[in-house]
A and B are shown apart, each in its own frame.
Chain A
């Protein structure tokens, strides 16, 4: 980057020249263009949505409404699906004589399907809301307003929508980066996307946070989301400074502001469906497979107590790595399964405590508390680890597809692990240092 030039010009030369050009245009425009047109509805709305001070708060307000809509309104539907598959499981046991097969059906197949489909309502609700924001034309304004800040944080303004989607599920989020022209900015956004806490990680926060953080549980969960965002910025800036490939500012952002239009119910449903089905196809199959694997490892060798299953062997093998962080073999196993799909983490805890896959969260939390599996500090560290460590297999698959390079995919895995370990360790040391358990 031009250093001497920057001193002389007073700012980044690319920005300087661009600004001068716009100044020139602003000067000649009044000489060339006559006749102000009457303020249209679009102008009036833009004045508010693009307002220097209110623009971002307004966007945050809409985002919050979207979140509430996504999680709170979809909740009973998720519960319904949960209940449905649990009963299917119970029926299998009563109808089928062979316990082995019944278990495979109940915990493996139905448990698996239930585990995947229970995420469908929040994802569909999220995409429904997102489609409304997008089709109405508002999202383009929000991206414009957010760009100012994102540019300073080393991120391209167009990465804002993929990151927003990433809060629902990283897979469509990463696919949405196709709108970013600059390859550098695009790859950076892809690498950073998994730090957006996807909806599958939420149950882990709820489980652990609720179990050991007591009244701070809600705060702890929000903290994870904010931690994700902070780390995303940090990693983006870090990568820009250190890796030669990423050196340089994000490319300038010029987004066409589409006309405002009233989204139709039909088109919104279509968009919601397209994106939701994508998740179903990509993630669904892998999650289902993952759950079956969990079932297998946790119930074989058949008939043996939990401590002697393949699952336990796996856990004990991994335990040493995680001991400095205060996670025991069960935490290690949960994390290992979280690699397959974050949705499985909670279920795997249930299985390891000898409870059915569909146990009540409250019961699992009781066990965690009473057996001291996590303390407030280690629990927090575990939540952070879950947030950061590696994207699930399905996401990795998409990363590979979108970057077309093993190099970046492996990098995504490595930096995730390293960062996760570092942050968790930090939480542990600071926590213990401050005298907390």
Chain B
């Protein structure tokens, strides 16, 4: 069974897309220990069974709110096979912020470029191939309200799930920042446990950002003094 997580900004049409994919049958519960709703559903495509988990809608993946933490923890701990990032085509600039964070988390991203019809009616022309090329991920235009693009989306999801090697996209943060990141990464690698649980570059950046939840994790490490030396 292929595990797929659904993520995106609020109001991008995630619920609608979830329904399109699962046929509206969902198992609703709560995220463990939280009052936030968790929706799961099954989709069958070309003989494959795909489990779809609906993550809370967020603008980013910081530690500042429960929704973000739930989404982030799920991706890091459960390591879904594919993460469908639903991007509002009529609001590209803001939506791409979350996308960059997902890439940094080294999630296996497939972008569903939703509300494609609205973007077109607003006069936008989006170069889907170029976007795909730059970000290194598959980008599928969709219109959740009419179910346009759903098949192509599922096709892309299957392809992504089967891929062995994935091209990672990193944004450069400038010479000074990159030096800092490398320094922290090197100390992280000393801790086999930490470096196996989290993508190291992402972890380094979070530590530098002072992410509360991550810092709590690092505090438990034997190497915490070395790792945190950069930021003390």
A–B direct touch in complex (beta carbons closer than 8 A): yes
Tell me which residues across on chain A come within 8 A of B94, comparing CB atoms: 254
Q: How many residues of B contact A (CB 8 A)?
A: 40
Q: Is residue A371 contacting chain B, with contact meaning CB distance below 8 A?
A: no
B92 touches A33 (CB 8 A): yes
A25-B93 in contact given A5-B230, A251-B62 (Cβ < 8 Å): yes
A32 touches B208 (CB 8 A): no
Q: Is residue A431 contacting chain B, with contact meaning CB distance below 8 A?
A: no
Interface members, chain A 347-378 (any B CB < 8 Å): none
B123-167 contact mask (Cβ, 8 Å, vs A): 1 or 0: 111110011001000000000000000000000000000000000
From A5, A22, A34, B127 is in contact (CB under 8 Å) with: A34
Q: Is residue A407 contacting chain B, with contact meaning CB distance below 8 A?
A: no
A181-B205 in contact given A21-B100, A254-B59 (Cβ < 8 Å): no
A21 touches B171 (CB 8 A): yes
Q: Is residue A13 contacting chain B, with contact meaning CB distance below 8 A?
A: yes
* Residue of B100, B123, B171 with most partner-chain A CB within 10 A: B171
From A9, A20, A29, A35, B93 is in contact (CB under 8 Å) with: A29
B126 touches A5 (CB 8 A): no
From B100, B127, B177, A31 is in contact (CB under 8 Å) with: B127
Tell me which residues across on chain B come within 8 A of A21, comparing CB atoms: 97, 100-101, 171
Distance between Cα atoms of A25 and B97 in the complex (Å):
8
Interface members, chain A 242-290 (any B CB < 8 Å): 248, 251-252, 254, 256
Range class of the A interface residue count: 20 to 34
Identity of the chain A residue whose Cβ is nearest the Cβ of B139 in the assembled complex: A32
Tell me which residues across on chain B come within 8 A of A4, comparing CB atoms: 230-232
From A1, A20, A25, A35, B125 is in contact (CB under 8 Å) with: A35
Interface members, chain A 33-62 (any B CB < 8 Å): 33-38
Identity of the chain B residue whose Cβ is nearest the Cβ of A38 in the assembled complex: B123
Tell me which residues across on chain A come within 8 A of B219, comparing CB atoms: none
B11 touches A256 (CB 8 A): yes
A261 to chain B, nearest CB (A): 15
Q: Is residue B32 contacting chain A, with contact meaning CB distance below 8 A?
A: no
Q: Is residue B64 contacting chain A, with contact meaning CB distance below 8 A?
A: yes
Tell me which residues across on chain A come within 8 A of B65, comparing CB atoms: 181-182, 251
Identity of the chain A residue whose Cβ is nearest the Cβ of B94 in the assembled complex: A254
Q: Is residue B176 contacting chain A, with contact meaning CB distance below 8 A?
A: yes
Tell me which residues across on chain A come within 8 A of B212, comparing CB atoms: 248
A14 touches B210 (CB 8 A): yes
B60 touches A254 (CB 8 A): yes
A32-B131 in contact given A2-B230, A181-B64, A252-B64 (Cβ < 8 Å): yes
Distance between Cα atoms of A20 and B123 in the complex (Å):
28
Distance between Cα atoms of A436 and B103 in the complex (Å):
66
Q: Is residue A64 contacting chain B, with contact meaning CB distance below 8 A?
A: no
Distance between Cα atoms of A1 and B230 in the complex (Å):
11
A2-B231 in contact given A9-B177, A20-B174, A32-B131 (Cβ < 8 Å): yes
Interface members, chain B 42-96 (any A CB < 8 Å): 59-60, 62, 64-67, 92-94, 96
Interface members, chain A 169-187 (any B CB < 8 Å): 181-182
Give me 22 A-to-B residue pairs in the complex whose CB atoms sit less than 8 angstroms apart, sorted by A's number: A2-B230, A2-B231, A4-B230, A5-B231, A8-B176, A9-B177, A13-B208, A14-B209, A14-B210, A21-B101, A22-B97, A31-B134, A33-B124, A33-B125, A35-B125, A37-B122, A248-B212, A251-B62, A251-B64, A251-B65, A252-B64, A254-B94
Please name 16 further chain A to chain B contacts, defined as beta carbons within 8 Å, in addition to the given A8-B177, A33-B92, A256-B11, sorted by A numbering: A5-B230, A8-B179, A9-B180, A20-B171, A20-B177, A21-B101, A21-B171, A24-B171, A29-B92, A29-B93, A33-B126, A34-B125, A35-B123, A35-B124, A182-B64, A251-B64
The interface of chain A, by Cβ under 8 A from chain B, is: 1-5, 8-9, 13-14, 16-17, 20-22, 24-26, 28-29, 31-38, 181-182, 248, 251-252, 254, 256
